[in-house]
Amino acid sequence: MPFPFNIAATEGRARTGVLKTPRGDIRTPAFMPVGTAATVKAMSVDQVKATGADILLGNTYHLMLRPGPERMERLGGLHRFMGWDKPILTDSGGFQVMSLAGISKVTEEAVTFSSHIDGSKHVLSPERSIEIQADRIGADISMQLDECVAYPAEEPRARAAMELSARWAARSKAAFGTRETQALFGIQQGSTFENLRRELADRLIETGFDGYAIGGLAVGEGHAAMCEVLDYAPAMLPADRPRYLMGVGKPIDLVEAVYRGVDMFDCVLPTRAGRHGQAWTSEGPINLKNARFAEDQDPLDPTIEGPSSLYSKAYLHHLIRADEILGKTLLSWHNVAFFQTLTAAMREAITHGRFEQFRRDFHARHTSN
């Protein structure tokens, strides 16, 4: 295993630890801000670092279209290109296969799709995905290419995608080979069918990966159904390797997933919500567009380090209503900081055996989420 994963403490199924990489330690539970196109939207690298993020996520689909994988390599890879010297995880492009189903075609060999930018044709196979992620982009953690199905899915459709993902996992692993300074994660699919997820988990473990992701959630099934899957899915994956829940989610989703044994997360929600005026606070979410904040001189949330303690709600309300770029930046920055503060608080609670109380208190304040 190229990256040692040391679990420091557990409470029930919740755990906290450190995934050690050549570019720095990743403290778990960890939230990865999403840098879709070589940037966390509306934020500078220094601002992202200031929130306490240990790792970013880059999007293979978007980066392969623009600026392009070969250009990325000529420019020194994604770390150098965007000025981020900590770890980067890249997704494989599998989620975009689902979300762009109208302009893509899946075969045994590869996915063929049309660019949403200019209509140009592209082919993404497991081997090409690994080449782009590990060799061109230079990701510290690459993901196997998989097929993600939308919710709801009938069991035959979910099984077909699961079995294709298993075959693509083996091809991704063969293409990745053995590397000392880069890791490869497999992805468990199976929609909401426990038998399918167990079957794929067994096949992934047989193939052997450095970490394991839970895919195919946050695709419309809702919080309750997601939690039902997480009641069994994480325990199917090796306890001594990181477990990564892809594309999740709201703060309450993170707390419930950690409670069930998940270690890593990513989601565009903090920055997307920030650009539209929504902020998470220690007392729950608020919308700064609302007129009730027009003369509110209190800070957004003095418990969160960053801009939220420096500017009044009235000023942030003004910026958002005036559609000023600074407003989008400040709220995105605040929300990413909130998510990092949340994961730090969960690490602390698990370390001291207080996570169950933390979870109850969080539910009491954030049930409106």
Q: How far apart are CA 208 and CA 36, in angstroms?
A: 28
Taking the chain (369 residues) in runs of 10, the rounded mean pLDDT of each run is 95 98 98 97 97 97 95 98 98 77 85 89 95 98 95 96 98 97 98 98 98 96 97 98 97 98 98 97 94 97 87 97 97 97 98 98 80
Query: What is the DSSP track for 260-294?
Result: TT--EEEESHHHHHHHTTEEEETTEEEETTSGGGT
Q: How far apart are CA 241 and CA 366, in angstroms?
A: 30
131 DSSP 8-state letter:
I
Q: What is the pLDDT of residue 189?
A: 97
Residue 331 CA neighbour count, 13 Å, CB half: 30
Q: What is the CA radius of gyration of the chain?
A: 20
Q: What is the pLDDT of residue 99?
A: 72
Q: Which CATH superfamily is domain 5-267 in?
A: Queuine tRNA-ribosyltransferase-like (3.20.20.105)
Residue type, 368: S
Q: How far apart are CA 54 and CA 48, in angstroms?
A: 9
- The domain segmentation of the chain, as residue ranges, is 5-267, 268-362
- Helices assigned H by DSSP within 83-216: 94-99, 126-130, 155-176, 194-207
The tokens of 35 are what? 């840098």
Q: In what helix (H) or strand (E) does residue 121 lie, and over which residues does it extend?
A: strand 121-124
Q: What is the pLDDT of residue 126?
A: 97
Cα angle: 179, vertex 19, 28; to 5 degrees: 145
Cross-strand partners of 214 = 188, 245
Residues tagged active-site: 91, 266
Contacts of 25 (CB under 8 A, 6+ apart): 18, 19, 54
Q: Which of 88, 84, 81, 188 is nearest to 141 (CA)?
A: 88
Measured CA to CA in angstroms, residue 106 lies from 218, 219, 255 at distances of: 21, 19, 35
Query: What is the pairing mode between strands 243-245 and 264-267?
Result: parallel
Q: What is the pLDDT of residue 86?
A: 98
Q: How far apart are CA 261 and CA 106, in angstroms?
A: 32
Q: What is the pLDDT of residue 286?
A: 96
The tokens of 200 are what? 């794929």
Q: Which of 297, 337, 335, 302 is nearest to 317 (CA)?
A: 297
- 150: burial class by Cβ within 10 Å (0-12, 13-18, 19+)? middle
Contacts 24+ apart (CB under 8 A), 70-75: 70/136, 72/136, 72/137, 72/138, 73/135, 73/136, 73/137, 73/138
Q: Where are the beta strands (DSSP E) in 235-359?
A: 243-245, 264-267, 278-281, 284-287
Q: Which of 1, 238, 281 is nearest to 141 (CA)?
A: 1
Query: What is the DSSP track for 93-109?
Result: SHHHHHHTGGGEEE-SS
Q: What is the pLDDT of residue 307?
A: 82
The tokens of 214 are what? 């839970």
